[in-house]
Structure 1
């Protein structure tokens, strides 16, 4: 993350110099000066974030030339099997769009179908430890 910190520090320096020059030569025009000041602050914040992460965690495997992919790879997680809830959610969205065209009654029915599909996807594997 050290390279990213240096990159964003350079961007922040560019916006600082550009903003100061713009404020000087534009006769204190507020919109451009404010935009360049905010750009400087955002780039400085990113540089600070990357610097702090580098100090806390050190270099990453991708920062070293001898780093390997296996050093960064973590454990594989749970991949769900087939489910009917994505199709139910898609049907709910399609009927909801038709409900906008054809009437409130169809829109309300589709809202129920969509809610059932979304809740099914969210809570389908809730009991998994």
Structure 2
């Protein structure tokens, strides 16, 4: 993760320098805002990689003596029978149609999307007690 953090720090630095020069010479608020957002997003990715490197250290693929079997095993847990991803996708479709046909449909789609997202997040949450 250290290599990725340095790489994205370079990208963030490029966007920062470009943003400052563009803001001074062009006086265009739209391009300046876009470059500022690009700098902030690259900085966020840099922060994520640097924090993961500090917490977890080097990964096997970052070490010269890392073996393939060190990264083997289960990747993650994926819910086998869940309705929430389908509900979220349907809500996004309704939300997109709401952009075309009106605010009322957009709000219905937003409600369905939020229900689907909350369902996915809290699907396996259990009360401790």
TM-score range, shorter chain: 0.5 to 0.7
What TM-score, normalized by structure 1, do the two folds share? 0.57
Cα 1:75–1:31, aligned 2, differ >3 Å: closer, same or farther? closer
List gaps (5 residues or longer) in structure 1.
78-129
* Count of residue pairs brought into register by the alignment: 77
Q: Structure 2 unaligned segments of length 5 or more: list them.
A: 77-129
TM-score of the superposed pair, with normalisation by structure 2: 0.57
Structure number with larger C-alpha Rg: 1
1:23 and 1:68 mapped to 2: Cα distance? 48
How does 1:88-103 map onto structure 2 within 5 Å? none
Q: Deviations over 1:86-115 (max 9, x none)?
A: xxxxxxxxxxxxxxxxxxxxxxxxxxxxxx
Partner Cα separation in structure 2 for residue 12 and residue 58 of structure 1: 23
Q: Which residue of 2 aligns with 1:50?
A: 49
Shift of 1:65: 1.2
Partner of 2:29: 30
